[in-house]
Structure 1
Amino acid sequence: MQLITLCFVFVLSLCTFNVVKCQDCSRENFISQFSAEKLDLSKLENTDSGKTVRLSCTVGYVGLSRYTCKNGEWKKQSGRPCERKSCGHPGDTPNGDFHLTFSDDFVFGAQVEYQCKTGYQMVSRTKHRTCMEQGWDNAIPICEAVKCPVIQANKYVLVIGDSEDATFGNVIQFECQSNQMVLKGPTEIDCNDRGEWSGTVPTCEEIKCYVPNIVHGFVTGSQEEFKENDILRYGCSKNYTPVSRSSRCTKIGNKATWSPPPECEEVKCRLLQKEGTRYKPSGRSVFYLDERLEIKCPKGFWDLISKAVEKEVTCNDDGKWSSSTDCEQITCAPPDDTHVKYGNWDRRWRTGRFEEKKYYQCIFGYKPTNGATFAKCTNDGTWTPNPLCQEITCAAPHDNLVSHTSLTRWRTGKLNDQNDYQCKHGYKPTKDATFAKCTVDGTWTPNPLCEELCPPLTNGFIVRENASSSTFYYSCNENFKPSTRGWWGMATCKDKKLSGDPTCTINCQIPDIPNSKAVSQNNMKVTCKDGYTLVGTNTIKCTNGELETPLPECKFTCGPPPKVDNAIVKIPYQKIFMEESRVNYECRNAFVMDGSHEITCINRIWTTPPTCKLPDNYCGTPAGTGKKMQISDQGEKRYKEGHEIFYKCLHPHNYKGSGGKAICLNGQWNKTVECIASCPDPPTIENGEAKTESEDKDGIATVVSYTCPTSYTLTSPKEISCVNGEWESPPECKRK
């Protein structure tokens, strides 16, 4: 019985152990629950429930995690996640660069590839480095400069530069040891990034030039080689010309070449344009064979050869113009005139320029032509006047009072020539002269030759019964009449004085001036009818029997043009405008005109003027601004639809309110309060004026009177009054 009991207890214990064993956490459970690719599970074993294990990261990762086994399941408690281990910067290599070929950071598994810069080559066996668990593998690659082969030159060539240890970028220059030799080949070569020289090593040889290939040209002769300083003779094809006369074989630098280069260019004529000179065609400086050019010289210049101010030239086949293209200043040579007082030209009168003046005198018996005081150089290269001097002569006098001369006919006389003469009856030689003499001013003296025994009658004529009579009759010229009654008068001449006061007064007919009241016969003063205005002087003058013109006129007139709001009149202000006068209006900024911009004075009345208003849906500055009210937006000229402004009524226009708000609606201001004075401004009337007769305590007119011009009359009492803020109807000015 005891044995049976022990067996039962053993079996029961065994069953209890198996139950506990089934609640442990296994490695397989962990793998099924978590992603374990970054964790090191090599030491993870079955773990009893309630125990905690620490797991490190796999190779190349850093971090630590804690997990607890609870009833057969793993629970993560804490720790740092596993991340790739950093290797740090892989290191730079001189004369090279690197870039990542795997991964985007310097962490475990990343790989970088190195490259050498241009002109350098890698001497390491590998160009890669990889981030391993212990850090970067391999050493940093090394880049060394590419080298070029050692240069071998002959004994005549001078090598300048490092020819034995040249690396990329090094330049080697060459020269000949002797000045009598030139390089054949490049003057310099450089070491490229492939370790090769850019050219071959040159040699030095005797200076030689060879027959060149000349475009549009040819070499004369059969010589193939030329030595130093040899001259090359060459020509050019038709319509082409050599650039230079000859070319010489010359050493320039390290080469033998032709200098200047043998070249042919198309025949061309060059033009250096001068300011002021006009050319056709214009704006060109180069012209080709047979092309023509028209030239017009500026004022004071000409073509020196042809003496013309306009000319035409042609471009010839030798590249030269057919004649000069220059305009020379016009000059005048010293005049060959023996009558000029100073004739030593080399010392006194030199060549003159265009419009230059020279003062001169003439020898005795001659005078400057046409009374000139100076000679002037003209555009034809001569001096004016031409000739400079003319002989002094006196023409036969045209004096019908001379009755007898010493010659049958009075011919032209020269300086100081004399002629005896006598005068007709009633006249005598002036100053009792016995002969007439030709003077230096080309006239005969005395002048006049004859004089009346008595002075002549102004505006009249004398009739003598005989030449010696001292009593004579006189009458007046047309439009004049004697001061005595009748058409003839009588006077006496005694001691060269006239007795009896013989005078001729004006006899002008009084003109008819339309629309005038009368013309005074005494002073011919003009007075216009009512309603007409005098245009011109009010007095008509009679001169030598003729009325001075223009005669004055009596015309309809208009007063100043009517005022148009927001418009200006485009003429200076004046009070009177003649019949048919026209006046133009112009609207101010932001306003448009309605009607004709022009009005005309017709029958003393102006035609209807235009109006200036704002465009639709705009309002202008409210009427009365600054006088009746003050607004908030003082600087604006027009306002858009719906715009609001605030205003304050000004004294004395605050009779019905102190201010308010206005809104722009349909082009009109809609005000909450009107600024009204105790009495508004008195009404105006056409062709009339208002005068204040009475005012209130604020200086506002309460009674006014009206007046009209003399040609108008009032239709009702001249005075009106302001009653309850409103004026009575004013009178009108009606034409009489």
Structure 2
Amino acid sequence: MKFPIKITLLLLWTVCAAQDCYDAPPRKPTEILTGTWAESVYREGTQATYKCRPGYRTLGSIILECMNGKWESVYPKRVCMRKPCGHPGDIQFGSFDLLEDTEFLFGSRVVYKCDEGYQLVSPVNFRVCEADGWSNDVPFCEVVKCSPVTAPENGKISTSSFDPEQEFTFGQVVQFECNPGFKLKGPREIHCSTGGDWNEKEPQCVEIFCEIPRIENGNILAVKPIYKENERLQYTCNAGFSHNERGDATCTKNGWTPVMSCREITCNPPYLVNGNIQPKKDKYRGSDEISYQCTKGFYPPLTGNKAKCTSEGWLPLPRCNLRPCDYPEIENGELYKPHWYSQEYYRRLFPESIGKVMYYHCNKNYVPAQGSTSSYWTQFSCTEEGWSPVPECFRECHLYSIENGHFWPKKGHYKEDEDITVQCNYGYSLPNNHNKITCTKQGWSTETKCKKIKTCTLRNYFDNGFFSESKTYYLINTAAKYQCKEGYATTDGKKEGFITCGQQGWLNQPKCIKICDIPQFENARYNGNKTFLNPNERLEYECLDGYEITRGQTIGVKVCDVDEWPRTLECYEKSCHLPILQRNLYPDPKQDKYKVGDVLTFRCLNGLKLVGPLSVQCYHFGWSPRIPTCEQNVKCCEQPPEVVNGTLKDSNNRTYCHNDVVEYNCDLGFMRRGPKKIQCNNGEWTILPTCIEEERRCAEVPKPVHGHVQTTNVSYSHGSSIEYDCDENFTMVGSKRVTCNQGNWTQLPKCIETYQLGKCAPKFFEDLQVNLYHNKLGNIVVNYSCNWNSEFKSTECTRGKWSPKPQCPKKESCAPPPQIPNAQEMSTIVNYEHGEKIVVFCKENYLLRGQEEIICKNGQWHSIPHCIEKQPCSKPPAIQYGAVKQVTSSEADDDNLESSTYKHNTILNYTCQEGFKMIGREEIICNMGKWSSPPQCIGIPCRKPPQIPNGAVLNELNTYEFGEGVTYKCHEGFNINGSAVITCIGGIWPNPPQCKGRDPFFSFQGQLYFLILRYIKFFLPSSEEVGKCGPPPPINNGDILSFALAEYAPESRVEYKCQRFYVLQGSQFVTCKNGFWTKEPTCLEACTTSNDIMMKHNIELRWRDTEKIYSRTGQELEFRCKRGFRKASNSPPFRTSCIEGKINYPRCI
């Protein structure tokens, strides 16, 4: 019975202890369940095996076992961890950021960014850690570039270390400066910013001018609407204000110098011993008055007890002196004295003692200080404080009505210093434009009458313009603004102008003149940036390559003539005519005319052989190279000549016959100049190349990504080559060979994971220049070039194929290169392949204008440059107070030209005279017949002039500019000995005059003598007035450099200057002597050379790029015959001079 019971208990225990799993093993994000799990129940102990998903890994197997109805991990510590990818790779000129993670694990993402001044070239900026490594290639950064800059009109680029026509890289700075007479509008320098743009717009050079300034508390004298550079302006300050430095300013590129301002005159309280001041303030303003009382026993001076605050301080200086009662000086009054006393004797009785009583009376229209009295005499007495009351006579003014206005207060009688307020009727004003009149010692301060205000009336219309303001009336010294209609401008070339109202009406009249709009250009270019030209202004334009104005003429000049101004300027296409050919030489295609760029191919008939180039091309200068010939017999050539520092590519010592071609290579470190191939041409080889040393070397070989190269060198010569190999499981795309070319390595190949290429074979790109990247779809895109000089094409690896299919079709070859006029010889007859380039070198004394290389494209040579003759310069421009110091270049022309000419690129230095400083660059350069702008020699300013005994300087300033003068005046009783005016020259004042005492004359009758002098003073002019001069005489085609004054002191000096293109003859200065000016200079007339005159004589200027429409007297010109004409037998010489407006022109027939 026990046995069944045991079996039953065992079965019950089994049921309780063993629990099956009713769900399949769980799915996990990082692990994949192996096997099939389709059952609904799994017995306890069943095991499920997992493997890691791609991108994850673990050590050992991951097993879950059914335990107690749940799936439990047999090895809990075994989990699938993310696979690491290693370092993603650094980027040159940039860096990367790891997003979210702290390690490079599966799923990690790094984002690349470029350093400042560099930009990402690759299409994607990130890499992702994938199951088989990092996605796509490491991006790469290239330096940011900015577009070329152009020099502003009337200015230049002062930066000398860069070529402004080339692109600029990040951080490079370009500086600008303007020609004399112009200033920068905009920044002085700009720099290439991180975005590939210039940080600011290019500046402009605008003409230096200054507008009328607004001077607070001041007024301008002789107002002009606009002031040009170096013009001066004078101004005065209102009452209570004075100039900060001086009463005038000069217009400079920085504005008015010195800054014009009127500072308020202020005074500190005066120091007064034995007295009290009223009113008491901490600070007094200009024209403020104080009165003061002296303490008992002290007295103010006879000038009174009042002082005024002036720019010189308190005048007169307050003081209290200890003294009795002196003789009272009564202005506008008379002291009583017994009639038997003479005036001189009566004065000797003073001072009087305290208590003495005196009497005085005032003149007509004057009253005593205490007011009018019925008595004729007014009493005053001597006290301890002095005379009391002080014997004074004050002016009494009378006013009962005012014409065209009214006033207040109305009292009829007004005492000295008393004011009345006036209100004038509409349209009327007091003469001083104020509303107050003051009773002064001389009477009313201004005329007691309201006068009609002077105004200028503005008419609404005038020829070719209109006024832009709605006002009709303008007060004196105000300006009205006007604008010109479309197609018109002011006489100074602006679209708007000003007229100013003066005392006698408008000082100037509005004027709008017809201008010439810049025409449209067809097949031509205009290098300026103007939108219109003023009358007689010159426009120069140039035809594009392959075009001309008339036969052989490619540069045109038009002078703005209102009646004959074209809307369009056109150049016509050049052409080549079929050349004269040998009998058996047949051209293809055969036609009468050919366009520039057309190629003419030749073949010989009747079994003859072609000697010379197979084809020629039509250029703007004609057919080139020379036309071939047909020969019955041709010769073979000797062995090809050797080239120094070069080797023959094919040197098998075979026989070379007509049309055979050989090729040369230069040794390492040397670069080829000239054709790389030469041809045997009827027994003679065409021109050889030369190998010149190239000093630029390449640095260490760049390390390829997923590739390697075995080399230990640290630098490489020009022409050196190395080969790359890719790592295992990587395939090379591009040429495996890179070459050092003038200090830079050619394009590196790329190593791509082989699986990424799939069936896209890289063999096509083995010898090509490539650049590749991954697009947004992850496909490889290859940019390839069929040879080093052609443009890039693009193809994409998609679905195992390249799309579009990469191909390098055969391009048409070019005729032998042209023999460009004035270029070094290129006498080769070898054809060149598409994309090949040849460097052009000009002959000595010629400059290359255009590209330095010509390129073969689709059977034609392109980018043909010009070789322009270096044009000499005439004598360097003379500068005032300076001279040429020395020649610092060996370019001075001593061969065929006169000694007064200088070759292109000649550099001359200037030096200033002692006492002068230089403004601008001290050197000038001869550039194609024109000198750069010379410097200026500016006189050093002077400090205060020397003081002299018994005399003083009138209106003394702290500093004086070069050429400014000062005038001395002697004190009463002294005569001036020497010139009263001295002038600042080079920071030094000449010796000043002296003040000597007058000789006593009639001393025994001194008083009578001086009475007579005082009496006749009103009838005879003073010695100073006798020597004064009026305004300096005007001259034709010139003017003075300062404001004309009504009169000038003796020995004053004025400087003249001629207009542009006129030459000053005589002294540029005139001096006031004994009331007359010394001889004024004359301005010799300029010469005008017009196209009409030259066409009449069948001549043209020899130097085409020179702008010699106007010539100064004495300036030389050189002409030559136009094409198709020759010099007449009785013609004057081609080189001639401008003589006072006339030119003796040569003639050609």
* TM-score class normalised by the smaller sequence: 0.3 to 0.5
Provide the TM-score with structure 2 as the length reference.
Answer: 0.22
Provide the TM-score with structure 1 as the length reference.
Answer: 0.32
Greater C-alpha radius of gyration: 1
